[in-house]
Structure 1
């Protein structure tokens, strides 16, 4: 077994880009990730993993990655006969693609592997397509199971399960979890707003973020209500984008130019966990994946210098800070409100702006987290959100819904010696 290293990472700008196709996004991020490695073509790539969730809603399924890379092969930019494996795992898709690339390298099956995530969720003329895309993230065979679960949970949380127009069902489930947390631990709406305000402030310094406007806690609280206690600026938007990374073995790394070797980041650990219909007071699946990842990397949560977590809503950041042991259970609200999770705090979280401000093109999100953390470990992020001297970084990326769990969770730990 050998170590696996990220030698290149890239991401497009995230946002509502109705005039840009999936093929164009794939080309852009692929050329960008080649350039980050100092390559003109991908001739050294042995295998590629292509993450996407929604192309089927516009009629393209089964061979999504192959279709998006057809022109790149014809142009001599991507090697012929290299296998392209399509990956889908809801919002955790891109992280799964990276994990598969790393597994290929660690197993010795491949020396260089590419992971790509591409997604469009914005269809201004056909909003029903966006709804169809998100509908796949929950059980559609036996909907009575989650309907019964949420009705019972609503009673316990003090917030009835009442889906409404203008939002996905996932916002209602997150709102119910937030209400339960508020009821159990005394978490306040203002503390949830503090997480959103922090991330909007971080994104001002991220040129690739969907939103780049600072917001105060008061402005977040006064924004359009979505599902109490969540307001619009506490919720991730729809948008389009792509992200990618190139992973290689130690022997390949050793043969690369010094300027590439000096920017390489080691994948110290990666772990997946699966969701279930848990009880309201039971730990979530990110606790399992996180603990396994810490053990694999041989570190503790105290080693982490910077993190990106899956804040599909601002409440999720509070919860994930607890599940990943950055603070005690029930302490996520005070932890974020204190400034600890801000740039300059003890453990900056979501320096990219997080999903609520950077954006959330579903199948690209996980790799955009990796791009952010690789940039942080290299010391290459913009001023205003840089974490100086960071050596250890963690990404947590959840996908789909199974009760109050995600259906899948991916935790990745990265390391760079300084």
Structure 2
């Protein structure tokens, strides 16, 4: 593998930006990434990968990144004539964009860019329209595995315009894991409480208030057995990351080289509709490929940021990533192993349930949280002497599996 580095990265805080456009949010994130990289000549960028999932909902049906970035070109804020590739992989869209930028470096480019942006909070129409849009377009056969699983569990599976399809599926998966391994709702709540508390000190987080396990359990049930506090909120935000070769990095001043982050491993892996918990599903496959590429094992990691779209996801993903044995995610979490100061801190940023989940930007936001930690800039949630960190970002759901999973391991270069 050719040595590849994150040269600069920038994000917006996650929130609700009713008065800000996709272009506005991208301008902030891209400008921050350029500043972070101390990039004097953006014209040296050899390609841009633009990630987004919901632009069609907002009426931008075709051009996406081409349309979002065009005003910045006219204002002299983005390179003219840039090669732009649109990318969409559901919740893993930004990681797929990063994959494009990383792959180009592997193929001989010296400087590339990945951008992700999302707006998820319509103000001129009800939020139920967004849920309808997200729930639609799938063939009837897609739902059969969930109907079969619901029948086995003795529950009813269904969703409507007032419900999130993803939440109902995650609820089924949680019930399945509880049946197969004895995972408890209290263990899932412990994950949520940890992440809400971690986010208090994260200035980029959408939610910045602590919660106890008891408060998480007492919150409103949105998809039995999952409560609102166990679910990622709808957020708006953007991220941008500049990726470079070793040769390009060598040209930069020491102040840039010292902050660069080496990409030790990176992988995308697709999922299987009929996979079981015992199978090597997409997250486990992606992680295994990334560990092999990096020449590392889970024990080498100092911290992990993972895709807790619900707090149950954190329970099974720490199993998939090899942080604990299959079926032991609940007890591992309840014992405090994933807390700050624990065996392996997981989601010190607050994770998706508290830092936020602007779908098309999330993968880059996760890489930014790794960068903050590896550069020693995380403040109250700093993991001491952090040198190697992993991000796992899932996109879509097929059966018990993620439709695609991206895993990335970063290392402090200096």
> 2:53 aligned with 1:53, yes or no?
yes
Deviations 1:96-128, CA, capped at 9 Å, x for gaps: 1001101001110x2100100000011033224
The 1:204–1:66 alpha-carbon spacing in structure 2 relative to 1, beyond 3 Å, is: same
Contact kept in structure 2, 1:158 and 1:180, CA below 8 Å: no
> 2:207 aligned with 1:208, yes or no?
no
Shift of 1:162: 3.3
Shift of 1:129: 4.2
What residue ranges of structure 1 are gaps of 5+ in the alignment? none
Distance in 1 separating the partners of 2:161 and 2:99: 36
What residue ranges of structure 2 are gaps of 5+ in the alignment? none
Distance in 1 separating the partners of 2:92 and 2:218: 31
> 2:15 aligned with 1:15, yes or no?
yes
Shift of 1:17: 1.6
The residue matched to 1:85 in structure 2 has which SS? strand
Distance in 1 separating the partners of 2:49 and 2:323: 31
Contact kept in structure 2, 1:351 and 1:385, CA below 8 Å: yes
Of the structure 1 ranges 258-267 and 162-171, higher mean CA displacement relative to structure 2 is found in 162-171
Distance in 1 separating the partners of 2:204 and 2:39: 23
Deviations 1:156-180, CA, capped at 9 Å, x for gaps: 3343313356321111111111111
Contact kept in structure 2, 1:40 and 1:77, CA below 8 Å: no
> 2:124 aligned with 1:125, yes or no?
yes
The residue matched to 1:125 in structure 2 has which SS? coil
Of residues 205, 222, 232, the one that matches 1:236 is: 232
Counterpart residue number, 1:260:
256
Counterpart residue number, 2:365:
368
Counterpart residue number, 1:160:
156
Deviations 1:280-325, CA, capped at 9 Å, x for gaps: 3333210111111111111111111111111010000010000010
Contact kept in structure 2, 1:162 and 1:172, CA below 8 Å: yes
Deviations 1:130-150, CA, capped at 9 Å, x for gaps: 2244236xxx3522x232211
Counterpart residue number, 2:114:
115
The 1:417–1:44 alpha-carbon spacing in structure 2 relative to 1, beyond 3 Å, is: closer
Counterpart residue number, 2:79:
79
Shift of 1:62: 2.5
The residue matched to 2:169 in structure 1 has which SS? helix
Counterpart residue number, 1:400:
396
Paired residues in the alignment total 412
TM-score normalised per structure 1: 0.95
Distance in 2 separating the partners of 1:373 and 1:404: 27
Of residues 188, 195, 198, the one that matches 2:191 is: 195
Contact kept in structure 1, 2:258 and 2:413, CA below 8 Å: no
> 2:170 aligned with 1:174, yes or no?
yes
Counterpart residue number, 2:103:
103
Distance in 2 separating the partners of 1:105 and 1:279: 33
Contact kept in structure 1, 2:119 and 2:358, CA below 8 Å: yes
> 2:273 aligned with 1:277, yes or no?
yes
The residue matched to 2:401 in structure 1 has which SS? coil
Distance in 1 separating the partners of 2:142 and 2:337: 35
The residue matched to 2:115 in structure 1 has which SS? strand
Counterpart residue number, 1:37:
37
Shift of 1:75: 2.5
The 1:40–1:28 alpha-carbon spacing in structure 2 relative to 1, beyond 3 Å, is: farther
Distance in 2 separating the partners of 1:36 and 1:305: 24
Distance in 1 separating the partners of 2:201 and 2:257: 27
Contact kept in structure 1, 2:65 and 2:85, CA below 8 Å: yes
Distance in 2 separating the partners of 1:411 and 1:149: 26
Distance in 1 separating the partners of 2:269 and 2:284: 9
